[in-house]
Copies of this chain bind each other. A is one copy, B any other.
Amino acid sequence: MIEWQRGQTVDDIDTPALVLDIPTAERNIRRMADRFAGGPVRLRPHIKTHKTPLLAHKQMAAGAIGVTCAKLGEAEVMIRAGIPEILLATEVVGPAKVARLVALNRHAMVITVVDDADAARAISDAAKSAGLRIPTLVDIDVGQGRTGVSPGEPALALARQVAEMPGLSLVGLQGYEGHLQHLTSAAERERQCRAALKKLTDTADLLRGAGFSIEIVSTGGTGTSQFAGEHPGITEIQPGSYVVMDSHYGTVEGLGFEQALFIVTTVISKTRPDVAIVDAGMKAASIDSGMPLVRGIEGAEFFFAGDEYGRVVFDRPRSDVRVGDRITLVPSHCDTTINLHDHMWVMADGKLEEIWRIEARGEIR
């Protein structure tokens, strides 16, 4: 059980603590929503970043048409929390998962994606037995080299097969340019993003020409949302990180979102003048996108010192840093860092308002 009191500051809360600055997160939510408020492109934010139902509801209240999930387990959490429409952006494979997908469609609309005819047929068979037709997107590889069939004819061939399956309803395409999200230069990011999106929208046109009704063309993360939002033929985008941001996205030009997520640590050892050991290691912050940054102490750098320890190295002896002091970090990768934590300390104006359970943390299936 976590001991806490409303009104505590970072100096009082127990650590390591994942802190969400809620006014900043709310500004980020509003900013992204405002960009798409007038246009034809709609916003379906990816919740694999925050994994927290109340943040999803805030995104819906700001104008999102639903949310995107990576895993069935995330979709189950969101549906139990009342989110009515979900795009499940990852292929559903295997009898256990197909059964879960069909069961979920009794309570909410869950759009699925496919890139393989046999896997699609397994979903169709189960849906048909349950008297359902599951809305389905053909997943296109627009250059990331991950999931998805190739654009053009291979996509058309799979679309023809899906259209024949009685338990599926072909409603569109997905193509995620994940490999472009962190290109630092805005101009280069835009150029490559436009080329990737053209593959997707050209394929949509090809399928429309073949008589299919393509209502959804989904793409776009935080790094490419501004281009995807203006690209003719795109109907919706699925960014996630913009709500909280991280130091990796912080290096990307022209995004316009603010850092809302922090890790508060305590100095637990200070036996050397220019080094402090803090209580957050690789079990409290992810390192797949590099080391977290130290916030608000010039010349201080963070290094991991094991699963449960971090080493903060100063550029000079610091007798003013003592055992018990707090040091705040900026996560390098928000998604994988949030996934390490069971709770968020929700703060406003430096005061603790509430602690939220990260309900979909660990939902990897």
Contacts and interface: CB of A to CB of B under 8 A. Distances in A.
Interface of A: 2-3, 14-17, 48, 70-71, 90-91, 93-94, 96-97, 115-116, 118-119, 139, 141, 145-150, 178, 266-272, 275, 277, 279-280, 282-284, 286-288, 304-309, 311, 322-324, 335-336, 339-342, 362, 364-365
Ranked 6 nearest A-B pairs via Cβ: A147-B269, A91-B268, A14-B96, A70-B308, A93-B268, A116-B323
A140 B313 CA distance: 20
A336 B283 contact: yes
Contact of A178 (B267, B287, B306): B306
Nearest to A4: B96
B93 A147 contact: no
Given A93-B266, A96-B14, A364-B284, A306 B119 contact: no
Nearest to A115: B269
Contact of A271 (B147, B268, B280): B147
Given A269-B146, A270-B116, A94 B324 contact: yes
17 contacts: A2-B365, A15-B94, A15-B365, A17-B365, A70-B307, A93-B279, A115-B269, A116-B270, A118-B322, A119-B323, A145-B305, A145-B311, A146-B269, A146-B305, A146-B311, A280-B364, A307-B335
Given A93-B266, A266-B93, A324-B93, A146 B277 contact: yes
Given A16-B365, A93-B266, A116-B323, 7 more contacts: A90-B279, A91-B269, A93-B268, A146-B305, A146-B309, A178-B306, A340-B364
A268 B362 contact: no
A306 B240 CA distance: 14
Main secondary structure of the interface of A (DSSP, over half): loop
Contact of A339 (B269, B271, B272, B340): B340
Nearest to A70: B308
A221 to B, nearest CB: 11
Given A93-B266, A308-B70, A341 B362 contact: yes
Given A150-B271, A271-B150, A364 B308 contact: yes
Contacts of A3: 96
Nearest to A74: B308
A146 B268 contact: no
A308 B90 contact: yes
A211 B333 CA distance: 51
A271 B148 contact: yes
A96 B336 CA distance: 27
Contacts of A309: 90, 146-147
